Amino acid sequence: MPDAINKGEMRTMLCTIASATVIEAGDLVEVASGLIIKATATASKIAYSPYASAVGDTVIEVSVGEVELLMDCEDAFAVTQKGGEYDITSNAQTINQSGTTYKVIMIDPSQDAGVVDATTDIKCKINKPLDERA
């Protein structure tokens, strides 16, 4: 299963990737030195990769804008987290509810954001997309 699942319409753009970089479909990505890499916990802007890239690829398609996703979270989901802005973890690319430095993910503020105490299928969106200015 991919790390994040797109839950809505999505525009995409083509970006450059190093030929040795492997991205799986569903990964969150960021830009480092002008190239797309898997997103890390210190990512300040991210995008969703709907398609995989293999060794040898030099172009990858990534999302544009605030994409709606279903993601797993590091800790049990709580009602008080609805509408909160959080970081991601680097390894599993899940929501890091204790991380609020970069705020790249926003948990949906609606009543159907997720099941309380669950750690999977939390409705959220990319809060700081790659194509955002500033």
DSSP structure class, residue 128: S
**Count of residues for the chain?**
134
- The model's pTM is 0.91
What pLDDT, in 10s, does the model give residues 60-117?
999 999 999 999 999 999 999 999 999 999 888 999 999 999 999 999 999 999 999 9
Q: What angle do CA 133, 34, 123 make, to 5 degrees?
A: 55
What pLDDT, in 10s, does the model give residues 38-71?
999 999 999 999 999 999 999 999 999 999 999 9
Pairing of strands 11-16, 59-64: antiparallel
d(CA 70, CA 123): 5
